[in-house]
Amino acid sequence: MNIIVLGAPGAGKGTQASIIAQKLELKKFSTGDMLRAEVASGSELGNKVQNIMNSGELVSDEIMIGVIVEQISSLDDSKGFILDGFPRTIAQAVNLDKILEEKECKVDCVLAFDVDFDVLVERLAGRIYCKDCGTTFHEVFSPPKQGGICDNCGSVNLVRRDDDKREVVTARLNKYLEMTEPLINYYQDKKNLIIVNGDNDVAKVTQEILKKIELINA
């Protein structure tokens, strides 16, 4: 099964993508994580995209399609994949369909996270993550059990993303509305869209997703 998670920054799509990938044994691709790794490594691509990411803008379709082609062509005969953060524009979605068609597969379902915008701003402003294993926390809603220490790997490297600063958050949300939200209609027309209520807590959202996926598989 091949799944796309779609939603505004802070909607919880990254968290749910990791959980669902584990439960359904899917390969997870997160374009945001990939780009952050490129920036951290100081690669040519990383240097090219760093300022774009820090300002809340989108990296060009050309670069992103190149990144995703490479990832998808590396797929073996595993059970499928879950894409977090791609596509983010209609051009990316159209290209993804083409790439998958060449591999004789398709997007089976798109999980669109519906979350109130005020909630998103609050979530992003308090978000911290572990630089070593990627686990995400929230300073107020889901802090690490022991202050400053990652529950998952014990690292003390808990940091805030550069693009989670308040002024950048607004730019990212506006970019989402302008460039990414139209994908909801794109996938609705293809009849593989599932709307998920992302306002609930993590476990409830996972339950809702698994139930809805079961229904389309039935």
CA angle 15, 183, 75 (to 5 degrees): 60
For the chain, first and last CA: distance in Å?
13
> Catalytic annotation on 88?
yes
Would you state the structure tokens that stand for residue 59, as one six-digit string? 């990296």
Question: Which residue, 100 or 149, has its beta carbon nearer to ligand AMP?
Answer: 100
Question: Which residue, 48 or 149, has its beta carbon nearer to ligand AMP?
Answer: 48
Alpha helices per DSSP H over the chain: 13-24, 31-41, 44-54, 61-73, 90-102, 117-125, 166-175, 182-189, 202-217
> Catalytic annotation on 172?
yes
Spatial CB neighbours of 73, under 8 Å, sequence gap ≥ 6: 103
Site for ligand AMP in 151-190 (CB under 6 A): 163, 172
Question: Which residue, 28 or 172, has its beta carbon nearer to ligand AMP?
Answer: 172
Instruction: Write down the catalytic residue from 28, 36, 123, 127.
Output: 127
Question: Which residue is associated with the tokens 């909630």?
Answer: 119
For position 95 contacting ligand AMP by CB under 6 A, the verdict is no
Site for ligand AMP in 13-32 (CB under 6 A): 31-32
Interface residues with ligand AMP (CB under 6 A)? Answer: 9, 31-32, 35, 52-53, 56-59, 64, 85-86, 88, 92, 163, 172
Instruction: State the catalytic residues.
Output: 13, 88, 127, 161, 172
